[in-house]
Amino acid sequence: MTDLVVVGAGAMGGWTALEAARGGRRTTLVDAFGPGSSRATSGDETRIIRSSHGADGLYTRWSREARDGWKALEDEAGERLFIRAGMLWFAHREDGFEAASLRTLQSLGIPVERLSPADIEARWPHVSATGLSFAVLEPDAGILMARRAVLAAARAFGGSGGRLELASVRPGRVDRGRLLDVRAGDGNRIAGDEFVFACGPWLPGLFPAVVGELIRVTKQDVLFVGPPPGDGRFAAEWTPSWVDYDASFYGMPVVDGRGFKVAPDRYGPVFEPTAGERMVDPETVRLTRRFLRRRFPALAEQPVVETRVCQYETTPDTHFVLDRHPELTNVWLVGGGSGHAFKHGPVIGRYVVSLLDGHRPDEEEARFSIAGGRTSGIGLRTGADSIVDHWDD
């Protein structure tokens, strides 16, 4: 019998399994589709990694620490997982998320710059500063090669003695408040002393009574826009990752020739991750072109060369769920990534293993509890209401 069974091989589950195996636990990692699957929230090619989280010191520290974890995995894997492209936050007002982030980064000694609209257009003439008050630049931030990084973590897990299994499982037998095993569709059972379910969009379906109302799964469209022929300005060497917080858009420069990644960060419709068709909505294309005309005008009429559909698993306050099951003493639920968890993977894995080792959450970490009411709060990705809706076409 294994010491620990981790269900879900994305950023949260993969790093939990890796940290557990490195710490000496006999660990089995189970995933229904395999690491880096296109159905997984940790799929796709790229993710932003940045430290800005408004006034939230814990997430700011975690993301900075996680950056070191990803870079160490990059060195171990011997392949590029992190691109130091920088991260640019477009601020429409003086007193918003960006200003709070600037103060927090400065207080923690994390490199950051404040740029005027003129500075923006001088450094990146292909970026329009129309309507902006200023921008915040994180020079040490950038891009994670998401699918590649998840696969690298899975290989490192195997190299640390872990066992990876391809299976779709559900909680199995229970005895005196403890889960004994998980059961696969073919009837096979995997027993363990402890269990971590880090199943992303599948977590609410596995534990509907516990997190079914706490985590909402929505469809999120992503576009890749092809730059003009011979135009290299939008490559990662020349353009940073960016977030236009109040416009509810984010994106990344061209990496490996895949196009300029841009996505509306508004919540899409409720989505079923196994059978859901991953086709982007035409309205997404319309809104994206409206945004591009304002901020990246040279791309506004360029073709969409690829599309992706992923999902968010969002809690009301956008804080993660990292907590013990309220009725099963050897089961931990890890999820509610809320669109900003991937970058934190190494630290989340380390934190979950600390919980298994008996760590009691402190006051800051109480946010991750299942119990207690969670009220809607400030978004940790972008603003709740997009100003794009008020722009003229």
Residue type, 227: P
pLDDT band at 376; cut points 50, 70, 90: confident
Residue type, 51: S
Contacts made by residues 128-134, CB under 8 angstroms, sequence distance 24+: 128/294, 128/295, 128/296, 128/297, 129/90, 130/294, 130/295, 131/92, 131/294, 132/90, 132/91, 132/92, 133/91, 133/92, 133/93, 133/94, 134/91, 134/94, 134/98
- pLDDT (tens digit, 9 = 90+) per residue, 4-62? 999 999 999 999 999 999 999 999 999 999 999 999 999 899 999 999 999 999 999 99
DSSP for residue 170: E
Cβ neighbours for 262, distance < 8 A, ≥ 6 positions apart? 222, 223, 224, 225, 249, 250, 251, 288, 291, 292, 296, 299
Res 92 pLDDT > 80: yes
What is the DSSP track for 216-256? EEEEEEEEEEPPPTT--TTBTTT--EEEEGGGTEEEE-B-T
**Exposure of 141 in the CB half-sphere (CA atoms within 13 A):** 30
Domain map (residue ranges) of the chain: 2-390
- pLDDT (tens digit, 9 = 90+) per residue, 271-313? 999 999 999 999 999 999 999 999 999 999 999 999 999 999 9
Please list the residues that pair with 191 across neighbouring strands.
181
Cβ neighbours for 283, distance < 8 A, ≥ 6 positions apart? none
pTM (predicted TM-score): 0.96
Q: Tell me what pLDDT residue 148 has.
A: 97
Q: Tell me what pLDDT residue 155 has.
A: 98
Q: Which residue intervals of the chain are DSSP H helices?
A: 11-22, 57-77, 97-107, 117-123, 146-159, 203-206, 208-211, 282-295, 345-356
Q: How far is CA 223 from CA 18, 46, 64, 270, in A?
A: 32, 12, 27, 19
Res 385 pLDDT > 80: no
Residue 177: CB atoms within 10 Å: 11
Nearest to 295 by CA among 89, 131, 128: 128
Mean of the pLDDT values across residues 256-270?
A: 95
Nearest to 211 by CA among 58, 315, 299, 351: 315
Report whether 85 contacts 50 (CB < 8 A): no
| Residue found by looking up tokens 């974890």 in the block | 69
DSSP for residue 359: P
| CA angle centred on 327, ends 321 and 328, rounded to 5° | 85
Q: Tell me what pLDDT residue 377 has.
A: 64
Tokens (6 digits) for 210: 């516990």
pLDDT band at 126; cut points 50, 70, 90: very high
- pLDDT (tens digit, 9 = 90+) per residue, 318-362? 999 999 999 999 999 999 999 999 999 999 999 999 999 999 999
- Which class would CATH give 2-390? alpha beta
> Quick one: CA torsion of 123, 125, 128, 130, rounded to 10 degrees?
70
Q: Tell me what pLDDT residue 375 has.
A: 77
For residues 372 and 388, give the distance between their C-alpha atoms in angstroms, rounded to a whole number. Answer: 35
* Burial call 96-110: b when 16+ CB within 10 Å, e when fewer: bbbbbbbebbeeeeb
- pLDDT (tens digit, 9 = 90+) per residue, 140-149? 999 999 999 9
The SS3 assignment for 30 reads strand
**Weakest-pLDDT range from 130-144, 188-202, 366-380:** 366-380
Q: How far is CA 98 from CA 88, 304, 312, in A?
A: 10, 29, 23
Pairing relationship of beta strands 82-83 and 46-49 according to DSSP bridges: unpaired
pLDDT band at 379; cut points 50, 70, 90: low
- pLDDT (tens digit, 9 = 90+) per residue, 181-237? 999 999 999 999 999 999 999 999 999 999 999 999 999 999 999 999 999 999 999
Tokens (6 digits) for 100: 């709070």
Mean of the pLDDT values across residues 145-165?
A: 98
Q: Tell me what pLDDT residue 372 has.
A: 73
Q: Tell me what pLDDT residue 225 has.
A: 98
